[in-house]
Amino acid sequence: MFLDIHELQRQKIVFDKSFLPGRIDFGEEMRQVEILSVQGVAELVASDIHLQGTLRTIMELPCARCLEPTRCPVEMEFDLFYSPMVTIARAEEAEIRTADLEIGFYQGDGLQLEDTVREQVLLSVPIKSICRSDCAGLCPQCGQNRNFVQCGCHPQSEDSRWAPLAKLQIK
Ligand SMILES: [Zn+2]
Ligand SMILES: [Zn+2]
C-alpha cells in the first residue's frame, strides 16, 4: 500500500491491512507464519509523514541455542516520522535529528507501508531468541540437540568451568 503525499496533502489516510505470509520479504533468517495485520493512520506534518499505528503477527526464526524453529509473537505500536529525502542535503541537521528522534526518510512521492512494516518487525524481533528459557542447546562436541538427545558426550576439557573438576579426578 502506497502512502502518497499528494493524497496526504488533502487528507489523512487511515489504513487497516492484512498481509499473508510471503507478501513481505523478511529475508532468510526469519519467516512470517501468521497473517500480519496493521492498522493506523498516516498524516502529513509540514513535509514529514507521520505514521502511527499497531501491528501484530507471528514470526518464526531459529533458536539461538538449538536452531529449532521458534515462534516469536510480534505485537507492537509504532509512532514514526519520515522526512523527505532532500533533507539529507542538510547532513548535519539530519544527523542530529536522527540521533534524537525516531525518524526515517521517504523518497519521491511517498512511502510504501510494507517497507515500514518490514523495518518495524525486524526491529522488534530479538536478535537472539530462544525456544524456551531452559533450552539446552546443541552439544558442542557431537552437534546433537540436547533438548531431545542425551548424547553422553563428556564436557570439553578446555571449558574452564570444568578444569578444577578434571584436576580433582586425576588425584
Ligand atoms: Zn532452543
Ligand atoms: Zn554430544
For residues 74 and 143, state if they share a domain: no
Q: Tell me the one-letter amino acid at 107.
A: Q
Alpha carbon distance 73, 35 (integer Å): 11
Give the residue from 166, 163, 165, 158 showing the smallest Cα distance to 140: 158
Verify that 40 and 77 share a domain, yes or no.
yes
Q: Does residue 131 belong to any structural domain of this protein? A: no
150 shares a domain with 110: no
CA atoms within 13 A on the CB side of 137: 8
DSSP 110-165: EEEHHHHHHHHHHHHS-SS--SSTT---B-TTT--BTTT----PPPPTT-GGGHHH
Q: Which three cell numbers stand for residue 81?
A: 516520522
Q: What is the pLDDT of residues 7-56, one digit of tens each?
A: 999 999 999 999 999 999 999 889 999 999 999 999 999 999 999 999 99
Q: In angstroms, what is the span from residue 146 Cα to ligand 1's centroid?
A: 9
109 in the same domain as 80 = yes
**Overall domain count for the chain:** 2
State the pLDDT at residue 1. 94
Domain of residue 73, residue span: 2-124
| 127 confidence band (pLDDT: 50, 70, 90) | confident
Both 72 and 115 in a single domain? yes
Q: Is residue 9 a part of any domain in this protein?
A: yes
**Residue 156: nearest ligand to its CA?**
2
Q: What does the pLDDT average to over 85-113?
A: 70
153 and 85 together in one domain: no
Shared-domain flag, residues 52 and 107: yes
Instruction: Examine the domain organization and report whether 19 and 74 are in the same domain.
Output: yes
pTM of this structure? 0.76
Q: Give the ligand whose atoms come closest to the C-alpha of residue 149.
A: 2
Residue 129 lies in a domain: no
Question: What spacing in Å lies between the alpha carbon of 165 and ligand 1's midpoint?
Answer: 27
Residue 141: nearest ligand to its CA? 2
Q: Are residues 49 and 118 in the same domain?
A: yes
- The average pLDDT across 140-164 equals 79
The percentage of residues in the chain with a pLDDT greater than 70, rounded to a whole number, is 81
Quick check: is 74 in a domain?
yes
